C-alpha cells in the first residue's frame, strides 16, 4: 500500500451490544471505504447475524486465535466499566491502541495505572466522550480562554433527563455503586450525563486532576437504587484564573430536555447543546435599555444574540488516523480526562446518595415504564446553577444539608501516575 492509500487498520471490537452496537454501525462506512477491517469481535453471547467477523468469548482468545498478520492494531472496548482497566491493559500489552468507552476507569488509581501502561507500551488510549468530537466544545473553550464575553464567572452543566425502572433493571450493575465488593461507579454524573461533566470541565480548561482543589456534591436518589439520580456538583479549580464548574444533573425530570453547557461571563452567556452541536451566544446589551438616548433606536445598539452550529469528528476515525500517523493528535486522549476521573472518584468516595422523601416524588407510568419526577426539579436545578450552590443551600424543600459533602484530591505529590490515594471526604 502507498502512503496515499494505506492498508486498512485492523480492528477488534469487545462488546457488540449496547453502545457496542453503535460502534458496529459506525464502523460500516469505514470498512466499506477500505479504512478499517474488523478482524474479530468479543462477546459473552453470540453476536447478531449481521456481524460476520470471527467471534471469541474473551480478548485473550482473540489475541491468541488470530494469526500474526491478522492481529488487531486497535481494540475498541464497549463493555461495563468494571472490565475497562483489565481489558485495556490486556490490549496495550498486546501492542494495540485502545478506544475505551466512558467512563474510562473507576478511580484515579486505575487512571494512573492505565496511563502508565499506555506510555510504556507506546500506544494511545482514546476515551469515548463523543461530545468532545463536536466543534462546540473548542468554541466555548476559546470563549473562556480569550475573554470574548468578558470575565468568566462560571461554567455550568444542565442535564434534565428521564430514566424509568427498566433502565435500572437492564443489567446486574445498573444503578449500583458496588457489586461483589468492586466499585461499579454508576450514577447520573458518571454514566448517562458523564458527557456533560467532562464537557464542562473541558470548556473551563480543567483537564487534569491536579487542577482541581475540591468537589462539593449533593447526591440524591428518587429511584430505588444505590447510585445517584439527582445530583449537584461544584468543582473548584486550583488556579484563581480558571472558572469554577457547577453541574445540576438528574434522571428525574418531568420531560427529557437537551443537555447543555453554559459559559456565564460579565458580558454575556454562551450555551452549547452538546448532543446537537448547537450553541446560542447571547451578549449583554451594550447600553441598558432604560438609558438609551432620545432619538436612538435601541436596536442599533443592542448586542445581537446569535446561533452557531458545528461539525463533529468521529473519535474512532481519529484514532485510526493516529494509528497510521502518530503526528495526528488524539481528540480525547486518556491524558486529558484525569479531571473527570477525579470528579468520578469524588462521587464514589463520598457516602451513598440519600433518598429523596416520597412526598416530594411523583411516579409517572406503570410497571417497568414508570419513572420518578422530583418536585419542581427544573426550578431547583436552575437555582443551584445560578447560585453555584447545592440544592439544600438554595432552598429546595427536598434538599438535605447532611447530604452535602466535600472531597479533596490526593496531595500534589500523589496526583500523577502511580498514585493510589482516593482523597478524603469531609
3-class secondary structure for the chain? CCCCCCCCEEEEEECCCCHHHHHHHHHHHHHHCCCEEEEEEECCCCCCCCCCCCEECCHHHHHHHCCHHHCCCEEEECCCHHHHHHHHHHHHHCCCEEEEECCCCCCHHHHHHHHHHHHHHCCCEEEECHHHHEHHHHHHHHHHHHCCCCCEEEEEEEEECECCCCHHHCCCCCCCCEECCEECCCCCCCCCCHHHHHHHHHHHCCCCHHHEEEEEEEEEECCCCCCCCEEEEEEEECCCCCCCEEEEEECECCCCCCCEEEEEECCEEEEEECCCCEEEEEECCCCCHHHCCCCCCHHHHCCCCEEEECCECCHHHHHHHHHHCCCCCCCCEHHHHHHHHHHHHHHHHCCCCEECCHHHEEEECCHHHCEEEECCHHHHHHHHHHHCCCCHHHCCCCCCHHHEEEEECCCHHHCCCCCCCCCEEC
Q: Average the pLDDT over each of 135-144, 277-286, 288-297 and give the range with the smallest value.
A: 288-297
pLDDT at 301 (0 to 100): 47
pLDDT at 305 (0 to 100): 86
pLDDT at 278 (0 to 100): 98
pLDDT at 291 (0 to 100): 56
423 pLDDT exceeds 80?
Answer: no
361 pLDDT exceeds 90?
Answer: yes
pLDDT at 419 (0 to 100): 45
- For the stretch 119-147, pLDDT in tens is 999 999 999 999 999 999 999 999 999 99
343 pLDDT exceeds 60?
Answer: yes
In this prediction, residues 27-31 reach a mean pLDDT of 97
pLDDT at 410 (0 to 100): 79
Confidence label for 79 from pLDDT (cuts 50, 70 and 90): very high
pLDDT at 299 (0 to 100): 54
Say what the pTM is.
0.92
- For the stretch 219-230, pLDDT in tens is 999 999 999 999
Mean pLDDT of the chain: 93
How many percent of the chain have pLDDT more than 90?
A: 88
pLDDT at 292 (0 to 100): 52
pLDDT at 293 (0 to 100): 58
pLDDT at 40 (0 to 100): 98
The full set of domains in the chain, from first to last, is 9-102 (3.40.50.720), 132-312+334-425 (3.30.360.10)
How many percent of the chain have pLDDT more than 70?
A: 91
In this prediction, residues 177-195 reach a mean pLDDT of 95
Confidence label for 284 from pLDDT (cuts 50, 70 and 90): confident
Distances (CA, A) of 328 to 177, 317, 318: 37, 11, 8
416 pLDDT exceeds 90?
Answer: no
177 pLDDT exceeds 50?
Answer: yes
Q: Compute the distance between CA of residue 139 and CA of residue 415 in angstroms, rounded to an integer.
A: 29
In this prediction, residues 37-64 reach a mean pLDDT of 97
- For the stretch 145-176, pLDDT in tens is 999 999 999 999 999 999 999 999 999 999 99
Q: Which residue has the higher pLDDT, 284 or 302?
A: 284
Q: Which residues contact 90 (CB under 8 A, 6 or more apart)?
A: 59, 60, 63
In this prediction, residues 4-27 reach a mean pLDDT of 93
pLDDT at 6 (0 to 100): 82
Q: Which residue has the higher pLDDT, 290 or 364?
A: 364
Q: Are 215 and 234 in contact (CB under 8 A)?
A: yes
- For the stretch 106-120, pLDDT in tens is 999 999 999 999 999
Amino acid at each position: 500500500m502507498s502512503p496515499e492509500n494505506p492498508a486498512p487498520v485492523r480492528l477488534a471490537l469487545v462488546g457488540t451490544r449496547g453502545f457496542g452496537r453503535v460502534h458496529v454501525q459506525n464502523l460500516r462506512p469505514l470498512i466499506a471505504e477500505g479504512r478499517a477491517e474488523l478482524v474479530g469481535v468479543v462477546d459473552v453471547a453470540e453476536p447478531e447475524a449481521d456481524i460476520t467477523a470471527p467471534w471469541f468469548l474473551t480478548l485473550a482468545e482473540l489475541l491468541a486465535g488470530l494469526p500474526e498478520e491478522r492481529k488487531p492494531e486497535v481494540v475498541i472496548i464497549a463493555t461495563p466499566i468494571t472490565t475497562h482497566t483489565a481489558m485495556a491493559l490486556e490490549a496495550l500489552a498486546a501492542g494495540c491502541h485502545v478506544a475505551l468507552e466512558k467512563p474510562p476507569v473507576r478511580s484515579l488509581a486505575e487512571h494512573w495505572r492505565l496511563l502508565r501502561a499506555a506510555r510504556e507500551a507506546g500506544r494511545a488510549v482514546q476515551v469515548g466522550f463523543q461530545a468532545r468530537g463536536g466543534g462546540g466544545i473548542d468554541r466555548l473553550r476559546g470563549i473562556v480562554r480569550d475573554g470574548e464575553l468578558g470575565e468568566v464567572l462560571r461554567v455550568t452543566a444542565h442535564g434534565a433527563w428521564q430514566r424509568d425502572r427498566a433502565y435500572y433493571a437492564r443489567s446486574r450493575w445498573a444503578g449500583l455503586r458496588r457489586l461483589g465488593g468492586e466499585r461499579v461507579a454508576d450514577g447520573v454524573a458518571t454514566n448517562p450525563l458523564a458527557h456533560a461533566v467532562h464537557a464542562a470541565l473541558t470548556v473551563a480548561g480543567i483537564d487534569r486532576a491536579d487542577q482541581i482543589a475540591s468537589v462539593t456534591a449533593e447526591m440524591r436518589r428518587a429511584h430505588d437504587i444505590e447510585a445517584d439520580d439527582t445530583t449537584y456538583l461544584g468543582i473548584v479549580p486550583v488556579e484563581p484564573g480558571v472558572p469554577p464548574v457547577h453541574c445540576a444533573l438528574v434522571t428525574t425530570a418531568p420531560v427529557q430536555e437537551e443537555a447543555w453547557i453554559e459559559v456565564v461571563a460579565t458580558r454575556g452567556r454562551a450555551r452549547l447543546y452538546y448532543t446537537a452541536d448547537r450553541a446560542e451566544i447571547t451578549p449583554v446589551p451594550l447600553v441598558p435599555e432604560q438609558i438609551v438616548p432620545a432619538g436612538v433606536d435601541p436596536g442599533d445598539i443592542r448586542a445581537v444574540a446569535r446561533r452557531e452550529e458545528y461539525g463533529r469528528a468521529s473519535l474512532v476515525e481519529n484514532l485510526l488516523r493516529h494509528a497510521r500517523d502518530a503526528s495526528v493528535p488524539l481528540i480525547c486522549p486518556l491524558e486529558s480526562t484525569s479531571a473527570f476521573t477525579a470528579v468520578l472518584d469524588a462521587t464514589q468516595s463520598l457516602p451513598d446518595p440519600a433518598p429523596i422523601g416520597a412526598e416530594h416524588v411523583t411516579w409517572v407510568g406503570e410497571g417497568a415504564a414508570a419513572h420518578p419526577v422530583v418536585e419542581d426539579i427544573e426550578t431547583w436545578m436552575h437555582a443551584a446553577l445560578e447560585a453555584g450552590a447545592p440544592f439544600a443551600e438554595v432552598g429546595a424543600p427536598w434538599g438535605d444539608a447532611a447530604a452535602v459533602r466535600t472531597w479533596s484530591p490526593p496531595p500534589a505529590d500523589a496526583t500523577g501516575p502511580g498514585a493510589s490515594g482516593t482523597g478524603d471526604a469531609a
